[in-house]
A = this chain, B = another copy of it.
Amino acid sequence: MTWLAIPQDSPYGIHNLPYGVFSANDQPGRRRIGVRIGDHVLDAGAAARAVGAPSVLLDADTLNPLMAAGRRTWREVRGALTEWLADEAHRPAVAPCLLPLAEVELHLPFEVADYVDFYASEHHASNLGRIFRPGSEPLTPNWKHLPIGYHGRAGTVVVSGTPVVRPSGQRKAPADAAPGFGKSRRLDIEAEVGFVVGAPSELGTAVPMSAFREHVFGVCLLNDWSARDIQAWEYVPLGPFLGKSFATSVSPWIVPLDALEHARVAPPARDVEPLGYLDDRGGEPWGLDLAIEVSLNGHRISRPPFATMYWTAAQQLAHMTVNGASLRTGDLFASGTVSGPEVDTRGALIELTWNGENPVKLPDGTTRTFLEDGDEVVMTATAPGPDGSRIGFGEVTGRILP
């Protein structure tokens, strides 16, 4: 389907075409919009100019102008990119605009406006309820009535590969009389999926689930690094703050929503009837069949199944705006930790090790309860594409620095 030689089973085939921002040594320091195809990156602005197409949106140094342009433009641009890479006639002009992936540096692909983190996995929320509030109902009474979420720190969203400095803060174990200060001893991961808002909305106007495609530009992977000891001491009554705000890593490639058409599945049956603005039974289902993998120091420790999420991103978008809150280009909202029902499908170490009781064994003979300095975490995912193909998400990686 493309004139570029790529492996038949590449998850970065012509049906994917995720967007990123890169720089390369041919123009040092200049950030450009790139589109991944196989193990190459298409310099999108250069390609547009080479074929004589409009290039303003593709010549930007972030995805924000393209994201702001709205769905009609997204489809036009995606159609054009597909044609340039599929039509042999474009090859002479376009081929010189391809760079090997290994020769580019990838950057945060968009300017994050507001960042919201949800809590949409029933398995994850139940596990954390059992760990943090033993003896109580694992789910709070509101959990099945609304997608619980909170705002996180947009300014510390970083691109995959950015090292994560172990945060310091106040910690207090239940047995301690007073809190102490020091480096977090319970540094954790959260495997999540992020949704990137393109088209804004007006203050005072709710965005219904049916408008999901008009506003959401694309999807990425996200690691919501969490310092469990800092979080446990600070989070009552106003929620997580410093336990989360030191870093949130995102994958460098934003998969267009249109590339996930074959990944759409019905969400799990809901055992509480949702209020009207969250009732998706009559509309398009926005469950997504993403198969996520989490590795620690090269060893796979979990395979979280995104299709098991109780609340969908369309419900989250509708909820987030039902009070009239406006959307801005660059808003990022994340699913919350993706955990499935089985132990080896949990998306955080606190669940995988049950609060440290059952350490994870690594092939080098060591074990982990939480992350140690030097540890590297890698998350990847694929989703079904057309004709048996797979749609790949760029990996989100991070290494812990002391």
Contact = CB atoms under 8 A, between A and B. Distances in A.
A119 B238 contact: yes
A64 to B, nearest CB: 13
9 contacts: A113-B154, A116-B241, A140-B236, A145-B179, A148-B238, A151-B152, A155-B326, A239-B239, A245-B320
The A contact surface, by secondary structure, is loop
A61 to B, nearest CB: 17
Contact of A142 (B114, B234, B245, B275): B234
B168 A242 contact: no
Interface string A124-147: 000000001000000010100110
B242 A323 contact: yes
B324 A246 contact: yes
A322 B182 CA distance: 10
A265 interface: no
A237 B149 CA distance: 9
A239 B242 contact: no
Contact of A325 (B142, B148, B170, B242): B242
Interface string A156-200: 101000000101111010000011110000000000000000000
A247 interface: yes
A203 B322 contact: no
A234 B147 CA distance: 9
B155 A324 contact: no
B241 A155 contact: no
A318 to B, nearest CB: 11
The interface centre, meaning the residue of A236, A241, A328 with most chain B CB atoms within 10 A of its CB, is: A241
A117 to B, nearest CB: 8
A142 B238 contact: no
Contacts of A172: 142, 145
Interface residues of A, number: 62
Contacts of A203: 156, 158, 165, 247
A323 B246 contact: yes
Ranked 5 nearest A-B pairs via Cβ: A239-B239, A167-B323, A151-B151, A165-B204, A150-B238
Nearest to A325: B245
A331 B155 contact: yes
A233 B142 contact: yes
A230 interface: yes
The interface centre, meaning the residue of A168, A206, A243, A245 with most chain B CB atoms within 10 A of its CB, is: A245
A323 B149 contact: no
B326 A156 contact: yes
A153 interface: yes
A235 interface: yes
Contacts of A247: 203, 324
A240 interface: yes
A66 interface: no
Given A145-B178, A150-B150, A203-B247, A155 B235 contact: no
Nearest to A230: B323
A276 interface: yes
A238 B149 contact: yes
Interface string A302-333: 00000000000000000110111111100100
Contacts of A180: 275
A211 B190 CA distance: 33
B325 A246 contact: yes
Contact of A145 (B114, B170, B277, B320): B170
A154 B114 contact: yes
Given A239-B239, A246-B323, 8 more contacts: A114-B153, A146-B170, A148-B238, A149-B238, A150-B240, A151-B153, A156-B203, A167-B324
A227 interface: yes
Contact of A140 (B167, B237, B242, B328): B237
A254 to B, nearest CB: 20
